[in-house]
Amino acid sequence: MKMFKNVILILMMSLAVTACKKDDDGGDGGGGAVGSFSAKVDGQTFEGLEGTVAAQVSDAGTSQVIAVSGGTANSENLQMIVQNFTGVGTYELSFLNIGTYSYLPDPSNPDPNTVVIYSTLGDAQSINGEVNISSYDGDTVEGTFSFTGFNINDIGDTVSVTSGAFNIEVVQN
């Protein structure tokens, strides 16, 4: 059942074709060096490791999608996927633009069925966070983010992701 939910989550992220975007300038950048990715997860520091930090822009028919992610040595991962990406601006995270935080409860057991996933999908009608892209030149993307993630197996269990910042080289697909 968990594997089925994970597959559904991935399909939903891949198939979403619309996005919510506020009209603004995307705010201030995160201020970190290129290759940086950090946040607070329920108040605990999250620092993306070199080699796990990535930003990818892909064509999705008539629009673009950006995925920004980072992982830690403790088998944690943060990721945001924004549909209809147009560059600098603020993008709401909810059902279509998705933020996720996941971790392995026992990193010595890499069984994908044990991964705990929190997502902004919790309440399809609510905006559960945002990504602010302050700089995008096609080669690098810089911004900030925050969101509330809902455990996909227990919607009453949430995680707060705050003070997120990234400055990452972009891979174009």
pLDDT at 66 over 70: yes
The residue range of the domain holding 7 is 2-172
User: Whole-model pTM above 0.85?
Assistant: no
pLDDT at 47 over 50: yes
pLDDT band at 51 (very low <50, low <70, confident <90, very high): very high
pLDDT value, residue 34: 77
pLDDT value, residue 61: 86
- Using DSSP bridges, classify how beta strands 154-172 and 36-41 pair: parallel, antiparallel or unpaired: antiparallel
- Using DSSP bridges, classify how beta strands 154-172 and 54-60 pair: parallel, antiparallel or unpaired: parallel
pLDDT value, residue 109: 86
Nearest to 118 by CA among 100, 142, 140: 100
| Total domains present in the chain | 1
pLDDT band at 124 (very low <50, low <70, confident <90, very high): low
